[in-house]
Amino acid sequence: MSKPNRPATTAVPPAPATGETAPWLPLHEGEFIALEQIPAQSPRTRDLNRRHVAALAESISAIGLIHPPAVDRMNRLLAGAHRLAALRWLQEHARDRFQELFPGGIPVRRMDLDAEADVELALAVEISENERRRDYRPAEILSLAERLKAAGFRYSADGGRPRAEDRPLMPALEIIVGKSVRQLRRILNPPAEGKTRTPDLVSELKRFMEASERLAGQLGPAADQPELSALKAELGRAARLTGRALAVLGAVEPLPTAAL
């Protein structure tokens, strides 16, 4: 690998005093190091999933590395084994893109501990880091989806199977934001604004209109009974309002203006 444009940080911070608990907060949020500085055999608790690595490599290539891996004071990996494997794959198989994305090294979150001396703490950090996930807002997820689609990822709103040659958007987006495909589909396919027409709703409205008209007709002339006369008028008004609602929904022809 060519020498990074931004010098990698290699200094090792001093270890905590005996009996002192190492802080959990990272020493440096925006630190960059050469990928080769992370030992190949870093401890981790989970085996690598090849499909996960492949999907991560594609998403990193498309939009960059959103969640940097965490390392200890000696650059040993604490969390982010799949991200590290994806970065190494990119460096080997897409060198130009890797150099374009990481000219000054890869970003890391350095934690103030020694993974070999503080084994339990290192394990706790790994679990914490793997479970810690930023809660993306729907607008941010939509923006990420657009960036992935612009990079060649494909998404079918009707849930159809992608073609063999397509790069599906959902696996990459699911890995980035940590939400299920079902949640992501609700965000990517919001219901149309004002969408209220359903077969059940239209059916119920038609039955209500027919019942109102039938009851109004059964009451007949009731000039000597003001209450029944008022009820008949209200039933007629309800039938007309229901007809207007059905017309708005496109289920019936609009009523003439005079009838409203």
* 3-class SS of residue 30: strand
* 3-class SS of residue 47: coil
15 in any annotated domain: no
Tell me how far apart the alpha carbons of residues 122 and 84 are, in angstroms, rounded to a whole number.
Answer: 17
Per-residue pLDDT at 37 exceeds 90 = yes
207 in any annotated domain: yes
The domain that holds 92 is classified in CATH as 3.90.1530
Tell me how far apart the alpha carbons of residues 219 and 216 are, in angstroms, rounded to a whole number.
Answer: 5
Instruction: Write out the residue range of the structural domain in which residue 81 sits.
Output: 26-131
Chain segment 129-152, per-residue pLDDT in tens: 766 666 778 888 888 888 888 888
Does 86 share its domain with 51? yes
Of the pLDDT bands very low, low, confident and very high (cuts 50, 70, 90), residue 12 is very low
Identify the pLDDT of residue 57. Answer: 92
CA-wise closest residue to 219 among 233, 205, 207: 233
Does 32 share its domain with 126? yes
Does 47 share its domain with 120? yes
1 in any annotated domain: no
- Domain total for the chain? 3
Tell me how far apart the alpha carbons of residues 259 and 240 are, in angstroms, rounded to a whole number.
Answer: 8
Does 43 share its domain with 127? yes
14 in any annotated domain: no
Does 35 share its domain with 83? yes
Of the pLDDT bands very low, low, confident and very high (cuts 50, 70, 90), residue 16 is very low
CA distance readout (Å), 212 to 93, 123, 141, 242, 251: 72, 70, 48, 9, 18
Q: Which residues of 104-124 are buried (b: 16+ CB within 10 A; e: fewer)?
A: ebbbbbbbbbbbeebeebbee
Of the pLDDT bands very low, low, confident and very high (cuts 50, 70, 90), residue 208 is confident
Identify the pLDDT of residue 198. Answer: 60
Identify the pLDDT of residue 102. Answer: 94
169 in any annotated domain: yes
Does 171 share its domain with 229? no
11 in any annotated domain: no
* Sheet hosting strand 77-79, strand order edge to edge: 26-33, 106-111, 70-71, 77-79
Chain segment 63-79, per-residue pLDDT in tens: 899 888 988 889 999 88
Average pLDDT over residues 97-101: 94
252 alpha carbon, distance to own chain's centre = 40
For the ranges 62-71, 96-105, 189-198, the lowest mean pLDDT is seen at 189-198
Does 125 share its domain with 160? no
Rounded-to-10 torsion of CA 183, 188, 191, 194: 130
Average pLDDT score over the chain? 75
pTM of the model: 0.55
Of the pLDDT bands very low, low, confident and very high (cuts 50, 70, 90), residue 192 is low
Chain segment 212-235, per-residue pLDDT in tens: 888 878 877 765 777 777 888 888
